[in-house]
Amino acid sequence: MVGVENVRTSGSAFDPLAGGEVDEVRRGLAAVRATGCPVTTVASGLRFVAGHGAAREALLSHEHLSNAGNFVLEADNDGPAPPDLITQSDPPGHTALRALLRPGFARASITDATPWIREYADELLDALPAGGPADLVGDYALPLTGRVIARLVGVPAADAAELTAHSLAITAILPAAFTDTDAWRRLEEYFTLAARARRADDDPPDDLLTRLALGTAGGRRLTDQEVAFHAWQLFVAGLESTAYTIGSALYRLLSDRTRWEVLLADRSLLDGVREEGLRHGSAIRWVLRTAGEGASVGGEEVTAGERVIVGIESANLDETAFGPDAAEFDLRRPSARRHVAFGYGIHLCLGAELSRIEISTALAALLDRMPALRLAPGAGWTDVASPMFCGPQRVEVQW
Ligand code: HEM
């Protein structure tokens, strides 16, 4: 499979796939948006969509911009070839996978999630040393999102930490081949055994693992190995993105503590703060597509075979959509909900509502229990070491 590395050149003035220090990346994105081009050329065969309107158009254009190879997964010579996962597939395969998984994200059961997510949040906060210090990404947000996704998939909360560690080990090396790593072998074994147990169960619980193990997609049952890949992708999809959104929202609230005070005094702002956190945080910086025949963005043709980076972070910071102060974190931004943090179109994030509940609940627990929360002396922003994710590695606090 052709990896992104193979179509990138090092001569480009600004490489949106490289990641890096958040303010510097955002200055680069602003400069690209200022050109006004709906789709710019980053390197030979690689195009970039920077504006909010053009990004939405590109994300809606699934008939011409394919998701195959979106998140490049390369098989090892000796390892199993990954199947087409939901974010790497186009209709009709994508439609079948989405139909299989969607009921597992049904709104009713997700809305019921607030009390048990709050319970997890309280348990994690109870375990912190009184007054701090603590790292609210490593000690709170990541373990919280790990437990939540473990429950949704249908594996014991006690296994969440180990599954989280293996998932993080894999995302750290993507898009390189990962199926020959210890982390993948462990995950494959874990989910294969879990899938077999579900198939042997006379009365299996209604969760995502049961859907994967017993349901059908495209008229056939998935193999054990396919179940393992899909279950892993759900883990990855739900884990870091939500944790980094919680982390970046907290950092923005505490680095100018008047924002925290305003939110403490008026909790009706919480939903808007969550949406602004999703917009401004843009935990997933971009998604990839491959152009087919007849592809165009903003009236500009894209040649078949070109890779197209849809700049989610850039779209979320677009001044024409969010106003001249789009780079700022504004607790009361009326347009915040227009963000595309969860994507748009047929691949719109399946976990969006769950994630919203996680973010609100995580922030509410801190507001309730730690009103004196503040950044620890000297605490700054260190970017997560991944070109695809945006967020702080740590948020060091005391209270
Ligand atoms: C703040 C947190 C999250 C962000 C920023 C986020 C972002 C995204 C984005 C941008 C996409 C679209 C990918 C594309 O167009 O190629 C997506 C898809 C997806 N997300 Fe999320 N996500 C988050 C949380 C979650 C959670 C908690 C889950 C739960 C497991 C989840 C599961 C999925 C799945 C299954 C898809 C694939 C949908 C499809 O291809 O049809 N996400 N997400």
Q: What atom of ligand 1 comes closest to residue 278's alpha carbon?
A: 1
- Nearest ligand 1 atom to the CA of 145 is 27
Predicted local distance difference test score (pLDDT) of residue 333: 98
For ligand 1, atom 6, which residue shows the shortest CA distance? Answer: 342
**Residue indicated by tokens 């995302």:** 171
Dist. CA 352 → ligand 1 center (Å): 7
For residue 151, give Cα distances in angstroms to 81, 120, 175, 229, 391. Answer: 27, 11, 27, 17, 24
pLDDT in tens, 131-183: 999 999 999 999 999 999 999 999 998 999 999 999 989 888 776 778 888 99
Question: Which of ligand 1's atoms lies nearest the C-alpha of 239?
Answer: 27
CA–centroid distance, residue 71 to ligand 1 (Å) = 12
Q: What is the pLDDT of residue 80?
A: 63
pLDDT of residue 77: 53
Q: Residues 238, 243, 248, CA angle at the centre, nearest 5°?
A: 140
Closest-lying ligand 1 atom to the alpha carbon of residue 153? 30
Cβ of residue 342 lying under 6 Å from some atom of ligand 1? yes
Q: Would you kindly state where each structural domain of the chain is located, as residue ranges?
A: 4-398
Contact criterion met (CB below 8 Å) for 67 and 49: no
Which residues face 65 on adjacent strands? 291
Mutate which of 90, 349, 363 for ligand 1 pocket (most atoms within 8 A of beta carbon):
349
Judge if the beta carbon of residue 360 lies within 6 A of ligand 1. no
Are 396 and 381 within 8 A, CB to CB?
Answer: no
Per DSSP bridges, beta strands 396-398 and 300-301 are unpaired
What is the C-alpha to C-alpha distance for residues 170 and 155, in angstroms, rounded to an integer? Answer: 19
Work out which ligand 1 atom sits closest to the CA atom of 208. Answer: 30
Using an 8 Å Cβ cutoff, are 40 and 6 in contact? no
Residue 233: Cβ within 10 Å count: 19
Instruction: Look up the CATH number of domain 4-398.
Output: 1.10.630.10
What predicted TM-score, i.e. pTM, was given to this entire model? 0.94
Which residue stretches of the chain have pLDDT < 70? 1-13, 71-81, 107-108, 175
161: its two tokens: 């930490």
Q: In this predicted structure, what is the pLDDT of residue 300?
A: 94
Q: Is ligand 1 within 6 A of the CB of residue 279? A: no
Find out whether the beta carbon of 282 lies less than 6 Å from any atom of ligand 1: no
